[in-house]
Amino acid sequence: MTYRVMTVCTGNICRSPMAEVVLRDRFTRAGLDGAVLVDSTGISGEEHGNPIDPRAQQVLRSRGYDVPAHRARQVSAVDVVERDLVLAMTATHAHALRRLARGDDAITQRIRMFRSFDPDAPVEGPEHLLDVDDPWYGDDAGFEVTIAEVEAAADGIVAHVREVLDRR
């Protein structure tokens, strides 16, 4: 049975597709590409159908990642129910995803902050301390910060998923 991971940001054109690309690469390197499916969505539908932001594409390519065809889409309650792990880029996204879970504790427990898997991220304090920076409003340097935050958490996510799969 395939383990399903979804990354979620605002419009699904910067952070969540960057995280999707990085995670796919890491799962492949870990030999889990056939066992894990990764996709991404956004809380908002405002970017529906749009490709990955060109600046995000550039930073991904500069780090050696293949950039797939992508069309932004909005997350649905069904998406949240069908995923084994839902990774929110910010506390605001996590809150919206928990609303979609409609109080179902089993589903709510699958919603995690993406950076909660970064060994150097804060372990105490408000959830927003784990937010992945939104690069969209800034310059190219913001995309470098975002990719660094995504890469810092990626190995922890792979280790978590491997542990879950080993218990199945």
The single residue of 15, 26, 55, 110 carrying the catalytic annotation is 15
Is the pTM value of this prediction over 0.95?
A: yes
Residues 136-164: pLDDT tens digits? 998 999 999 999 999 999 999 999 999 99
Q: Based on the residue annotation, tell me whether 167 is a catalytic residue of this protein.
A: no
131 is catalytic: no
Say if CB 12 and CB 55 are below 8 A apart.
no
Q: Which of 5, 45, 34, 3 is nearest to 21 (CA)?
A: 5
Model confidence pLDDT, tens digit, residues 49-96: 999 999 999 999 999 999 999 999 999 999 999 999 999 999 999 999
Asked if 86 contacts 111 with a C-beta cutoff of 8 angstroms, the reply is: yes
- DSSP structure class, residue 139: -
Active site residue 9: yes
Of these residues, 104, 133, 134, 155, which one is catalytic?
134
The active-site residue, picked from 9, 24, 53, 131, is 9
